[in-house]
Amino acid sequence: MLKGMQIEARQSYAFMARNFNLVKRYWGWEVVWLAYSIANALSVTFIGAGAGEITGQDNINTDFLITYLLIGTLVWHFLSGTFNVISEMIAWERWEGTIEYTLMAPVRRYNQIFGQAAFAVVYILLFTATIGLVVSSFFDLDLSEADLLGALVILLAGSLSFVGIGVVASILPLLYPERGAQMTNIVQAVFLLVSGVYYPVSVLPDWLQTISKLSPATYVLAGMRAALLPGTSDQSLWSYVAPLLLMGVVMLPLGIHLFQRAERYTKRTGKLKRNG
Amino acid sequence: MVNEGNREPQYKRVTKELQISPDEPALVVSHVYKRFNVASDPWWRRLLPARGAQNGAPEPENVNGNGKSLKARRGKELVTAVNDVSFTVQRREIFGVLGPNGSGKSTLIRLLSTLLVPDEGEIKVFGLDVVKDEMMVKRLINRVSVEAAFFKKLSPQENLLYGARLYGLAGKEADRKARVILKRLGLKESSYSAPMEDMSRGMQQKVAIARAFLTQPILLLLDEPTTGLDPRSKLEVQAVINELRDDHDATILITTHDMNEADALCDRIAIIDDGKIVALDTPENLKKSIRRNGHEPTLEEVFMTLTGKELIEKDDIEGYQPEKILAD
């Protein structure tokens, strides 16, 4: 049994090591992407800094607004990054032409997804932390009363459900070799719209507010703001973590189940061999 | 014809939970069919008189193994890529599958390697069903395809360690073995850590072969493994294939367009055309089957004769009369 677990751990590690090797080999692209992400995060947070001048009002708490927007941009970077790495796990293999080789190997899908998810969480967390440190250095932010540990717990709980949603989205490149990868962008766009990344969900029309309740990002963002901006919420952190864990417990097995069904379908119809 | 050697079979016990009888054939393919729905003519073209049906002959009907009629999906055409294929490969045999382009060789290899599910029939690898016991079959096999599929930015070392870990090998052990195999295949030490994209197609193919050998499969599926290799490299690969069979008890199924390679390597050869096996025997017997007037045929002539595609001679071109063919 121990031997079997060791083999399964090696299989998951294979995906982690491969992805870190890819990051190492594409380091130029990673530097460009980091610079773009920092510029993007700064652009959003400077809106907070300029709020007084934009509206002509002096009594706006710009520090609060900057932190509010910074949390939004960093959390969104982390969640969308995790989602991308998971949802593109099949798309990468199609681009490289390795999909048949990987799916022919004696690897259970949950080991593959575990390896891919572990890489995504570790790598994107480091990436996001770097952006956060650089952007924070531009502003004089006071996080002395922030609950950093609570924020980390919420972020990790949120990543669980985003991994599950990413697995479901990764079915698209499996089923649609030519356009599947682009289709996953629609899923991401809906989350960006309804989850309150840069604004409170309460400003959305009622029907969009209803949809926002189904998005794990809504709870992550609200929970992170409650943890890092004390006094903005009277709810306990658990009230944000509980729905996230529930969504994760449902989405992850559901994602793996749907993925396995899609894999069987592609093997029946011969869709594996075409490169997108 | 199967090279049995003098040693006891080494793979009675492949893993703790997987026991294999040494008497079990390596591969049993029985009455396998695989059909695909492929894009057909657009609807407006289908309204026009059918091309190639001048005599009012009906379109060939697709039926399954029990004679039941099959329908293509809307707007698609049903193509039978593998049509009632049956054969058995004994352990430690090198079994060749020859056929023209599009004859169903690669589809057959994909069916054997669990990348496709057969529509009908059964495929057993050492007694294990490729559909029901998929995960166990995967542990026993590996495949080299005609396209060397790799992460091109990664080095052979990174690609091989990735592949080996998928099969449960430890990194250090895989690294040591990979270096030995690549040296055996004539790959320079300096190429081991350079990106794959900087390597020639032939060198990439050698790394693909090393990747499959690394996991020591007991059934190795080789889909045109030496395509793109120079003559010396071909010989090196052929020597390693023989070595894998002789020293590691592997059974090998190989498809190739190189008739000399098939003649030199294979214990038996199946010739496949339009998804059907049209001949199956030892290379010697296949040649005997078309021997006429004391002429000793080559395997290439056997291939041309049995697939109905004779070599075009100079006389054929000079005597070509399209009007006569149309009148016939």
ipTM of the complex: 0.90
Decide if pLDDT at B300 tops 50: yes
Give the phi and the psi of residue B90 in degrees, each rounded to 5.
-80, 155
Asked if residue A274 is part of any domain, the answer here is no
| pLDDT of res. B129 | 96
Give CA–CA dist B12/A120, Å, rounded. 41
Please give the pLDDT value at position B141. 96
In this prediction, residues A199-221 reach a mean pLDDT of 96
Domain tally, chain A: 1
Is the pLDDT at B315 greater than 60? The verdict is: no
What percentage of chain A carries pLDDT values higher than 90?
Answer: 82
Any domain includes A224? yes
**Which chain B residues are within 8 Å of A29, Cβ to Cβ?**
none
First-last CA distance in chain A: 39
Helices (H) and strands (E) in chain B, counts: 12, 12
* C-alpha dihedral sign at B300, B303, B309, B310: positive
| CA B150 – CA A190 distance, rounded (Å) | 34
Is a pLDDT exceeding 70 seen at residue B123?
A: yes
| A10/B139 touch (CB, cutoff 8 Å), yes or no | no
Q: Which residue, among B106, B151, B204, B220, would best test binding to A if mutated, counting the most A CBs under 10 Å from its CB?
A: B151
Judged by CB atoms closer than 8 Å, whether chains meet at A97 and B170 is answered as no
User: Any CB–CB contact under 8 A between B194 and chain A?
Assistant: no
| Residue B163 at interface with chain A, using a CB cutoff of 8 Å | yes
Q: What is the pLDDT, as a whole number, of residue B4? A: 42
Q: Kindly identify which residue of chain A lies nearest to residue B140, measuring between CA atoms.
A: A106
Q: What is the pLDDT of residue B7?
A: 44
CA distance B162 to B165: 5
In a domain, residue A245? The reply is yes
Residue B322's pLDDT band (cuts 50, 70, 90) = low
Give percent of chain B with pLDDT exceeding 90. Answer: 50
Q: Flag whether pLDDT at B14 surpasses 70.
A: no
Q: Is B22 on the interface with A (CB under 8 A)?
A: no
CB contact under 8 A, B149 and A100: yes
Q: For B37-49, how does the pLDDT look when each residue is reduced to its tens digit (9 = 90+)?
A: 877 766 677 677 6
* Residue B247 pLDDT greater than 50, yes or no: yes
Helix axes A62-87, A148-169, angle to 10 degrees: 40
Percent of chain B with pLDDT over 70: 80
pLDDT at position B61, please?
57
What's the Cα-to-Cα distance from B255 to each of B103, B268, B308, rounded to whole Å?
Answer: 11, 12, 19
Q: CA-CA distance, B46 to B316, in Å (whole number)? A: 35
Q: Which two tokens stand for residue A131?
A: 């952006």
Helices assigned H by DSSP within chain B: 43-46, 105-112, 134-140, 156-166, 171-184, 201-214, 231-248, 259-265, 283-289, 299-306, 314-318, 322-327
Residue A48: domain span: 2-269
- pTM comes to 0.85
As beta bridge partners, residue B27 has: B89, B125
Homologous superfamily in CATH for domain B27-48+60-327:
P-loop containing nucleotide triphosphate hydrolases (3.40.50.300)
Contacts 24+ apart (CB under 8 A), B131-139: B135/A106, B135/A108, B136/A106, B136/B18, B138/A104, B138/A105, B138/A106, B138/B114, B139/A106, B139/B14, B139/B15, B139/B18, B139/B167
In the three-class reduction of DSSP (H, G, I as helix; E, B as strand; rest coil), residue B49 is classed as coil
Three-state SS for B32?
A: strand
pLDDT at res. A276: 37
Does some domain include residue A275?
no
Name the residue in chain B with its Cα closest to that of A24. Answer: B154
- pLDDT average, residue stretch A168-174: 92
**A119 to each of A21, A26, A34, A263, how far by Cα in Å?**
11, 16, 17, 22
**Does residue A276 belong to any structural domain of this protein?**
no
- For chain A, state the CA radius of gyration: 20
Nearest to B10 by CA among B251, B248, B216: B248
Measured CA to CA in angstroms, residue A105 lies from A253, B150, B165 at distances of 21, 14, 10
Q: Residue B259: which residues within 8 A CB-CB, separation 6 or more? A: B98, B298, B299, B300, B303
Of A18, A107, A270, the CB nearest to B36: A270
Cβ distance B116 to A267 less than 8 Å, yes or no, reads: yes
Mean pLDDT, residues B157-164 taken together: 96
**What is the domain partition of chain B in residue ranges?**
27-48+60-327
Quote the CA–CA distance of A122 and A19 in Å, as a whole number. 11
A39 assigned to some structural domain: yes
- From A15-24, A233-242, B126-135, the region with the lowest mean pLDDT: A233-242
Alpha-carbon span A157 to A153, nearest angstrom: 6
Q: Taking the CA atoms of chain B, what radius of gyration do you get in angstroms?
A: 22
Statement: residue B320 has pLDDT above 80:
no
Half-sphere exposure of B202 (CA within 13 A, CB side): 14
The residue whose two tokens read 């990979």 is: B178
Angle between helices A148-169 and A216-228 (to 10 degrees): 170
